[in-house]
Structure 1
Amino acid sequence: GDVAEAVAAAQWIGGPVVVKPVQGSGSLGVRLCRDRDEVAGHAAGLLAATVNERGLATPGMILVEQYLTGREFSVEVFGEEAVVTVAKHVGAPPVFVETGHDVPAVLPAARSAALTDTAVRAVRALGLGWGAAHVELRLDGDTARVIEVNPRLAGGMIPELVRRARGIDLVGAQVRAALGADVDLAGTPD
């Protein structure tokens, strides 16, 4: 992709949009862009990078996404089971750096169900029901919308927070699943 494609995508989607690298961690490089100039400037910077924050080669591609309103959450899914919903604390736009997590998220039952049901449906739709999936969503009122689905454990020490809060060892579960062993998601909090 190139800057012109990013600008065209943003115009097609309608602003504001989020422009971000196709790979990375910690929300680095993720930015809210409100107009054509912001899209072009941020896209040019991302596309010019040859290595990411971990020193790995970048693929020379970016994503341009519709900006979703509402509070950000993640649902940690294992197989096709929602294990826990995590409330995310993120920096103010235009960047979205995660600054903290609440595990488990404290929500009314209907909103919690909207998040977990949407996350599990996304995992099923993508055929990822074999191990860990980290599904990021925004909750606007009672409507949950998917930001991204990652077929991996969450970062940001979330697996450790889940272990302490729920007594579920997601890292161990992922290793057992990879070895073809039975996985038990019952837990006892610390």
Structure 2
Amino acid sequence: MARRALILLEGTRSNGLLYVQAAQRLGLHPITLSADPTQYDYLAAERLEAIHVDTDNLDALIGECSRLRATYDIAGITSAQESFYATAGKLCRYFDLPGPNPESVERCCDKFVQRQLLAEAGVPIPAYSLAANATDVESSAAEIGLPVVLKPAVGIGSSGVRLCRNVDELAEHTTYLLGGKHIWRSSPRILVEEFAQGPHYLAHIMGNNVIGIEAADFEPPPHFVFRGTILPALLTDEEHQHISEVSLSCLRALGLGWGPTCIDFRWTKRGPVVIEVNPRLAGDAQLVQLAHGVDLAAEHIKLIIGEEWDLRRIHSHTATARYLVADRDGTLDWIDGGSRAAAVPGVAEVKLYVEPKTPIIRKGDYRDCIGYVFAASPDRARAEAILQRAVELINWSITPFPASAAQERSSVP
């Protein structure tokens, strides 16, 4: 009998290993298809099967999956990365496997189209406009009113996203986005958005079930780099219900509701305003398991392979995360304390992404995170205290680049 395999298109440094480990626990052999398997350190570390293939070429992927079917029983195909989730859906459709609607995923991944569909459905969102050039950006910002957020219409991980508080910052970031420094996966289109101000929340959803709502905060502006999160968020029953109802409205408007979704909100004077809908697990999906005992990666895989999932909460703890973010550009001299932090009772996981002598060049997005600490406890105050104690044990030193070298390096404005 052929070995059952789960095909994973690309991976992520946050959830890629989660899917691999969940697949193995379910008795599946994970195989990653990637344009560059070396970018995922867990593949080599865990000695996992990975195949080099052009993941932007659907025909090449069909050919590779067809070849694999000669050796394996392909139980399912998916991706932890939203950029390839629609492609995974197309492969599922081709091979007659359960999967998401690729058209719905593609519409969701285009932030302008997403905004249009949400607006048509009456979902509360920030004022927005689409711009193709500097003149469009300037006129859109004037109409919406500063401050505004500029972001690529298609992109992930807050890459290219910036809060522009005045006309100088607006011009500077427009030049960065359109001047050849930002890498576009599609034709350059900029979304100009009203800056929705208020506490930030994120809803973890599987199918049509809101599993949990967490609170998050960011590093200082102008960029949107996560600093920390806590699950569950301190919300009244009415506030929780309101966010849940708006979340389900988003799913209906975008034709989602199969598999995972995470939705970012700001709680403004108008109540919850949708910042972004993402057709994937959140980057900190482990917190849901720590807080509620629900392994979202495993339950998603069960759906993928046609088995019945179980989304029931096993317990009610508080799970919290702190993301370690570099405070300057330069060369990392040393970083230590990870093992001491991991030994603190109540710490669930410590991950350091960087090694000494690594050049640190901040981008103003998810790549600025050099590590994280997760902690959990049945008691909320205790969970926060555990996290703080562990974080204080981790230290690092960065030597700034020499002035001449720093001038040659490009960074986000």
TM-score for the superposition, normalised by structure 1? 0.86
**Structure 1 segments of 4 or more deviating over 4 A?**
none
Root mean square deviation of aligned Cα: 1.9
Larger radius of gyration: 2
CA offsets 1:133-169 (integer angstroms, 9 cap, x no match): 11000012571110010111111xx211111111111
* Conservation of the 8 A alpha-carbon contact between 2:266 and 2:272: yes
The correspondence for 2:181, drawn from 21, 40, 49, is 49
The aligned length equals 182
1:17-56 → structure 2 map (5 Å cutoff)? 17-21=148-152, 22-25=154-157, 27-47=158-178, 48-51=180-183
CA deviations 1:70-125 (Å, max 9, x no partner) are 10111011111111001001122222210111011121212222222211211221
- Tell me, yes or no, if structure 1 residue 99 matches structure 2 residue 231: no
Q: Tell me which of the two structures has the higher relative contact order, counting C-alpha pairs closer than 8 angstroms and 6 or more residues apart.
A: 1
CA distance in structure 1 between the aligned counterparts of 2:233 and 2:219, rounded to whole angstroms: 18
Q: Secondary structure at the match of 2:229?
A: strand
Long gaps (5+) in structure 2? 1-131, 318-413
- What is the match of residue 54 of structure 1? none
Q: Indicate the residue corresponding to 1:11 in structure 2.
A: 142
SS at match of 1:164: helix
Identity %: 36
Distance (Å, rounded) in 2 between the aligned partners of 1:134 and 1:182: 21
Equivalent of 1:183, from 309, 333, 336?
A: 309
Q: 1:12 to 1:177 in 2, by over 3 A?
A: farther
Aligned to 2:211: 83
User: Does the residue aligned with 1:171 lie in a helix, a strand or coil?
Assistant: helix
CA contact (8 A) 1:115 1:139 kept: no
1:173 aligns with 2:299: yes
Residue 163 of structure 2 contacts residue 195 of structure 2 at CA under 8 Å; is this kept in 1?
yes
Say yes or no: does 1:58 pair with 2:181: no
Residue type at the aligned position of 1:148 = E
TM-score (norm 2): 0.42
Q: 1:184 to 1:172 in 2, by over 3 A?
A: same
> SS state of the match for residue 88, structure 1?
strand
Q: Does 1:161 align with 2:287?
A: yes
Q: Take 1:40 and 1:31, find their aligned partners in 2: how far apart are those partners? A: 12
Structure 1 portions without partners, runs of 5+: 52-56
